[in-house]
Amino acid sequence: MQLLDTLSRFFISNAEAAGPAGAPPQQGGFSFFIMMGILIFFMYFAIWRPQTKRAKEQRDLISSLAKGDEVVTAGGIVGTINKISDNYVVVSLADNVEITMQKSSIVSALPKGTLKSIS
């Protein structure tokens, strides 16, 4: 029994045993709501808004693709668009070399004449 009493004194400090007389006054729950508001505000401007902006730019790029545009794919392949269907494009890489890929794999459109300056 003495061992149990010694262990309980070790784990329970005197300040906790003293009760509410030695306890500091508690803050209201209002500060919790302020901190949650700041966290939500930060998450909106740091994560959600930039991601939505990038997704909108990607949708605009895909919808503006036209035959003859020079594009870069997600894999780094550079080519010219020869044919466009609903979800796929045919990209010409060189003479008689064409690949069919999804529109969503196109990352950016290059200015006209970029392929001639590269090769």
Domain locations in the chain as residue ranges:
30-64, 66-119
Chosen CATH of 66-119 out of 2.40.128, 2.30.30, 1.10.287, 2.60.40: 2.30.30
pLDDT value, residue 115: 82
Q: Indicate the SS3 state at residue 5.
A: helix
β-strand pairing of 70-73 with 88-94:
unpaired
pLDDT in tens, the chain (119 residues): 676 676 566 666 555 544 555 555 566 677 888 999 999 999 998 999 999 999 999 999 999 999 999 999 999 999 999 999 989 999 999 889 999 999 999 999 999 888 888 86
**Residue tagged 């400090």 (tokens):** 13
pTM (global) more than 0.75: no
Residue 98 DSSP symbol: E
Whether 89 contacts 100, CB under 8 Å: yes
